[in-house]
Structure 1
Amino acid sequence: MNLAVRLLLILATTVAVSSALGQTVTIAVKAEPNTLDPHKVVGRQSEAFLANVFDGLTARDASGTLVPGLAESWEQVGDTTWRFHLRQGVSFQNGEPFDSASVRFTLARAGNPDSPATTWSQINTITGVDIVDAFTVDIHTVSPDVLLPARLAELFGPMLPPVYTVEAGDDFGTHPVGTGPFVLKEWVKNERLVLAANENYWRGAPSVKEIVVRPIAEDATRVAALIAGEVDLIEGLPHVMVDMIDSRPELRVERVSASRVFYISIDASVKPLDDVRVRQALNYAIDRQAIIDRLFGGLGRPAATIVSAQAFGFDPSVEPYPYDPEKAKALLAEAGYPNGFSVEFDYFTGSVADHYALSQAVAGYWSQIGIDVKENAYELGVFQEKRGANQAAPLYVYSLGDVFLEPFWLVEWLAAGDMSRRYSNPEVNALIQEIRSTFDASRRAELYSEVQRLMKEDAQHAFLFQVDTLWGANDRVNFTLRADEVPWFYPLSLAD
């Protein structure tokens, strides 16, 4: 049976046909995903879609608490073994049963170190999966891994149907099958992506029967579509437009104090950025609060490191760099650059966060201390390819959200992983390894505190701030944002 026929059968058995426009919600986002294959997806803009088609072994509720997903419970059965007890009676959207074999297949497929996705970096401690019985698996890790259950949630641990996944091959990314609340009904690239309710969903069928997702890159165009009634929800409402939306009785602003931290990534292997004094100068030169006030309506707070204020282990005593351009100039002179230097600086569009205006502001502050900044603009997908190939400029603007609300993966990624930009501090690396195997929460918090202190002192990157995440909504829909920024459409409903 060919793939097209199989997909028609999936839709016929799991999707209720929407008989009226009233059953459909239309959402405008900044960019469509690069793929819906969980093991090839790149970037949060793409990853965020996964939770609506797939489920992980665990999940996060609206408050950020780890809760059961496709696993009803889990426990340690040894220092390096986690046992997961799987939910019975769950089927994939094509009718394949979910069981222990699905878990073993999925984690084996996900464990490809050559994948461009971030999935592998989240499960690279796994050494094997043993099937205890049809609905019990033991997952073994190379060393004690306290955060493995959290990493097997919907973003990094989506479960796949073995038979269909193999048959679909490279087409899986555009014709995915999961156990999640919505089925991908249609995908017209750069125009629309249609999700239909999975009427057989194990949590119960979604209230909204169809969701049309439209990629609209321009902020003003998304806002205009909301005002005109063409869409019901828009992602990434510009902070400067909050008052305009709030002034309209049929519209509202949905906001959440999100865990995303904006920062400037610094390649510490490139001169003169290999000098800590230069990196510190870049930090002192930026007026973080002024940028928050000017670009984000004051809805934010300066950040000292990648660890967000919402995260476990956040240490408020590690304070952000103050704005001190004179100190920045003195540090540059001390490092041998009294007249500054020239450097390239990348930014991109089409992300879950606005980077363009931010890059302009930061470049302006740096120019005031004598740094000649050459800016390069890219579309998100193009930039991610450059970044993945280590071809990005020595400086680029970026932002990361803490999906686990515990910062281990961010700290590891930035200090010793793919986002480290060749920075290395043996003391930080040792702390990271200790955190991974420390099950005592109070001790982990102490270790995170020390990591934050070292990251700030090293000025590894120029960490900037957190700002509230904003969406625009009309009065047709009920929708609540989450601090982890995952747009979980399952609770979405139509207003009475």
Structure 2
Amino acid sequence: MTSRRLLGSVAAAAFFGLTALPAMAQQGTLTWGKPAEITGFDVHVAGTVASWEMYQMVYETLLTADANLGLQAGLAESWEQTSDTTYTLTLRDGAAFSNGRAVTTDDVIGSLERIKNPETASYWSHQLGDIAKMEALDDRTVQVELATPHATFLPALAHITAAILPMTELRDGSFDPASQMLGSGPFMVANHNQDESWALQANPHYWREGYPLAATLEVPIIPDESARIAAIRDGRIDFTTFENPDVQQMLGSVSEVAIQPQQTTNYYRLDVNALSEESAFSDKKVRQAMNLALDREAINDFVFGGSSAVDYPVPAAFGKDACRDLDTYAMPREARLEKARSLLEEAGVPSPEVALTMSSANPVLGRIGQVVQQNLSEAGFEVELNQVPTAEYLQKVFTDGDFDFSVSWLAGYTDPGMVIKWWDPEFAIWNLAFQENVPELSQALKDVASMSDDGQRDDKLTEICAMIDDGANLLALVGKSDYVVYRSDQVAVKVAERSGSANTYQYIAEFAPQ
């Protein structure tokens, strides 16, 4: 059995019950140029990074993760696993929501029950495993009993989607998570203009005395990359993020601008439609040919200038080699192309015509698409590139299944057992419109979820990688780094070198206006 006791800190906040602030150590204003608006208020439901980033300003989780992807204390100051299925978590003394009410075991149990409730429709429900019962041992201690072993239960608690809500206020109707935010971290929301801006203020009840260091946080929404570059260049914003590696060249000559790459467990991916009879990719041989024809090294070189790396269903950032020996990766490119052409001949479509769909909001996706188009042409594919507005992209791919294949990216989280689960459409839900249900793969994914022995789990992950590669339905391309850009003359920042839960601003409480 394992036992861990760690102390740490978290950044989060609230949009509710805003009151006049008492005299505090906080002073000054930070301005965050946010690339996109949230897609919904409910922290247990919305599944986009644009939402997660704001939630992380507003809510806290029981655990967090450090730069080595190890678990750290959050709202829970300590935790213990006493059997394969039993976990005990002790809440931090002094943790309170921004309305002043203490965070209790009832809030913890109620929040986890809400995530598991089918009526909530939380995509995070399955990540928590099958919870048999939860019990408050005292005012600050919760015991969770799982029905079966679930190795990633604790890492799942470290993702913002497992945030702790104020259940008393939710039940009595004074707090509506679908339209408000009420959390326990350093900031609370004072104002919100949809698609335009947010204004946050320091939470006077935050458990870290003297934090956050800033009194207010202004958040203009700036989707256009060039507009964010201009805003950081002339000092209208203090910090922002980019996905485009070219930002290092575009802003590198500005002495007051600092750029910090952040490695993540995320990677760019292709979603391939195995379910549409109108798509050539309904034939597995065509999907396999496409997978073999991809040149991931070329994507890294031409799109990222060699700063990324070839990636796998089990992200390279975890240091696992479960997928590396597959023909898709290990076979020389000319041999792969020859095999791809042979598969297309067997399928009776030597020159498949397919369309690659991408959101127009991210220029990196379009550049990846161009390299993929060139890669596949060498095997005989004719690829049309379609960049569409994000709303249309989401509708086509995840709701209607009206596409051939698309470029996107996948969050890798803090444990390889978490990301690999998304290949099971019964588990993931979001890929039901295009992901083939393969019973053998689904069972293998269920099996690995219960394995705590690293060696046994690694062997099963290797087996799973081979199944994923054979189906060629959802494909990893290259690793995804984020770039935190800030004005060093206007703000002092703390950013982890690596993040596993898209928690770029986990140290926001320590950002200090200069």
- TM class by smaller structure: 0.7 to 0.9
The CA RMSD over aligned residues, in Å, is 2.9
C-alpha separation in 2, matches of 1:8 and 1:131? 27
| Aligned ranges 1:128-139 → 2 under 5 Å | 128-139=133-144
- The whole-number CA distance in structure 2 between the counterparts of 1:170 and 1:323 is 57
Instruction: Indicate conservation of the 8 Å contact 1:31/1:350, yes or no.
Output: no
Instruction: Name the CA shift for 1:174/1:364 in 2 (closer, same or farther; >3 Å).
Output: farther
Q: Is the 8 A contact 2:128 2:152 kept in 1?
A: no
What's the offset of the Cα at 1:255?
Answer: 0.3
Partners of 1:14 and 1:93 within 8 A in 2: no
C-alpha deviation, 1:59, in angstroms = 1.1
Q: Are 2:306 and 1:306 aligned? A: no
**Equivalence for 1:217:** 223
The aligned residue for residue 146 of structure 1 is 151
The amino acid that maps onto 1:335 is A
Partner of 1:409: 418
The alpha-carbon distance between structure 1 residues 102 and 308, as it changes in their structure 2 partners (threshold 3 A), is same
Contact (CA 8 Å) 1:313, 1:449: kept in 2 or not? Answer: no
What do residues 134-175 of structure 1 show as CA deviations (whole Å, max 9, x unaligned)? 222222323111211111124121001112223557843442
Structure 2 match to 1:246: 252
Say if 1:278 and 1:154 are closer, same or farther in 2 by CA, change over 3 A.
closer
Q: Who is 1:275 aligned against?
A: 283
Q: 1:11 pairs with 19, 33, 47, which one?
A: 19
TM-score by length of 1: 0.88
SS at match of 2:316: coil
Distance 1:262 1:8, change over 3 A: closer
In the alignment, the residues of structure 1 paired with residue 315 and residue 379 of structure 2 have an alpha-carbon distance, to the nearest angstrom, of: 28
Query: Offset of 1:236 from its aligned partner?
Result: 1.1
Between the aligned partners of 1:147 and 1:446, the Cα distance in structure 2 is 17
Once the 2 structures are TM-superposed, how far is the Cα of residue 422 of structure 1 from its aligned partner?
Answer: 3.3
Q: Tell me if structure 1 keeps the 8 A contact 2:26–2:213.
A: no
- The separation in 1 between residues aligned to 2:450 and 2:131, in whole angstroms, is 14
Unpaired segments ≥5 residues, structure 1: 1-5
When the two structures are aligned, how many residues end up with a matched partner? 484
On the 8 A contact 2:262/2:484 being kept in 1, the answer is no
State the shift of 1:444 in Å: 1.9
1:209 maps to a residue whose letter is A
Structure 1: distance between partners of 2:160 and 2:129? 15
Range with greater deviation from structure 2 (374-383 or 191-200): 374-383
Contact 2:105 2:141 (8 Å CA) reproduced: yes
1 CA distance for matches of 2:22 and 2:86? Answer: 36
2:478 to 465, 468, 487: 465
Runs of 4+ in 1 over 6 A off after TM superposition: none
> Is 1:223–1:237's contact at 8 Å kept on the other side of the alignment?
no
Instruction: Give the Cα–Cα distance (whole angstroms) in 2 for the partners of residues 79 and 178 of structure 1.
Output: 31
Which residue in 2 is equivalent to 1:494? 512
On the 8 A contact 1:28/1:215 being kept in 2, the answer is: yes
Q: Which residue identity is paired with 1:483?
A: S
What is the 5 A alignment of 1:66-145? 66-115=71-120, 117-145=122-150
Whether contact under 8 Å (2:298, 2:371) holds in the other structure is no
Residue among 397, 401, 413 paired with 2:407: 397
Q: Compute the displacement of 1:69 (Å).
A: 1.5
Distance 1:267 1:124, change over 3 A: farther
The equivalent position to 1:232 in structure 2, one of 218, 235, 238, is 238
TM-score by length of structure 2 reads 0.85
How far is 1:316 from its partner?
6.5
The residue that corresponds to 1:33 in the other structure is 38
Measured in 1, the distance between the counterparts of 2:405 and 2:119 equals 25
Identity %: 25
The amino acid of 1:299's aligned partner reads S
For the residue of structure 2 that corresponds to 1:48, the secondary structure is helix
Does the residue aligned with 1:356 lie in a helix, a strand or coil? helix
- Which runs of structure 2 are paired with 1:330-349 in the superposition (5 Å)? 330-338=342-350, 340-349=351-360
Q: What are the ranges of 5 or more consecutive residues in structure 2 without an aligned counterpart?
A: 1-13
**Counterpart mapping for 1:298-447 below 5 A:** 298-303=306-311, 305-311=312-318, 313-315=320-322, 317-318=324-325, 320-321=328-329, 323-324=333-334, 325-338=337-350, 340-350=351-361, 354-404=364-414, 406-416=415-425, 417=427, 418=429, 419=431, 421-447=434-460
Q: How does 1:137-216 map to 2 (within 5 A)?
A: 137-167=142-172, 171-204=176-209, 205-216=211-222
